[in-house]
Amino acid sequence: MLDVEHLLMLLNFNLQTKRLELVCNNAGVLFVGATSHLRLNELGNLSLPNPSFRHLVLQTEGFESFAETPIFTIQVTRFKCGGFSIGFVTNHSILDGRSAAEMFENLASICRGEGMKTHELNIDRSCIRARDPPQIKFKHTEYTKLAEATSLASSFTSPIQPPTSTTLTGLLPDHEFRMFSFNPDMIRCLKEKAMTKCSSFEAIVAHIWRARTKAIFDNLDEISSVLFAVDIRSRMSPPLPQGFSGNAVITASASAKVADLGEKPFSFCVEMVKEAIERVTDEYVRSGIDWLEVYKGMPSTLNGNFFLSAWWKLPFYELDFGYGKPLYGGPVAGGMGEFVLLLSSGNDMGKRGGVNVWIALEKDKMERFSCHVFEI
């Protein structure tokens, strides 16, 4: 049963400037109250991304035009056991992970009767707009020109379909989904194996990139790439203002020959990832923004490349809407084979500091990946 209150915050496409505009109409967001005849424990393992969760968020498909499509939806679902879920759908054009997390924290604080947690809010996007004229100074191979990618299928060119299956195999029939857990000791071993000072993120990205490359590439002369988002707030000159709320991330990528990733020491993979992050300077970011303005590109996740999305440091497991912390706080399982998710190990104190890797691969390649991923 659904009770829908039509309150929409929308995006509009300005034909003159050819840019998206946020329609500030004070109309609120699309909110749904739902009830389920199931108990929470009937959904399966609540500690993992679950295809059943797709029914717990209000999808934005089915609207007649882009101008009518909401950019933010909330669905509260009550279960037979008395538990409930809160599902959000947001638009990455408006909020990146950090901004969305801050918004959810404020919303949770208001629900607890404690008011806004963050009082400093800066929504001026002019600090990251494209330059006129554009000044593209780098190749930006992390992106593919939209004109060249429209005939190719990826999660960036194909809209996510509404839920039609409650099984993972129904989302990607030829793929297998698995979660691989890395505890703090395993991450420490990876950092020691790197033979250079590196962050946990850099070590994990390098390790997953190497293992996945070994699993899916047969031609040693091919190029394998890993892409990931980098927060640009502190990398700009001057830094973005305190309290900036928006999409302040840019795609970075590391690329190498398949043979090099397999034969050279792990330190090589780590250095490639570190160099990709270090490239993200103020000038590189501004060049990338100009490139995207000119070519309207998308991340290059084609030809076996993949995008690693890090959710593990986002405080979703700390959200308390007045009823305690959640059993699960994270993304809904989707049919996106070229995405790898880094997820929090949850509220289990024994696993704090660890990370869960959620990945989808074709079944034979998953077996190969499973062999390589624990080569630590």
CA dist 104 and 87 (Å) reads 11
> Catalytic site residue 320?
yes
Residue in 290, 320, 364, 372 annotated catalytic: 320
CA dist 74 and 160 (Å) reads 18
> Catalytic site residue 207?
no
Look at the alpha carbons of 91, 336, 301, 196 in this order and tell me if their dihedral is positive or negative: positive
Residue in 6, 92, 364, 372 annotated catalytic: 92
| Greatest CA separation for the chain | 59
Measured CA to CA in angstroms, residue 127 lies from 21, 132, 230, 284 at distances of 16, 13, 17, 15
Please name which of 262, 217, 259, 167 lies closest in space to residue 365, comparing C-alpha atoms.
Answer: 217
CA dist 178 and 275 (Å) reads 29
Distance of CA 100 to the CA centre of its chain: 11
Whether the bond between 173 and the residue before it is cis, its omega within 30 degrees of 0, is no
Residues catalogued as catalytic: 92, 320
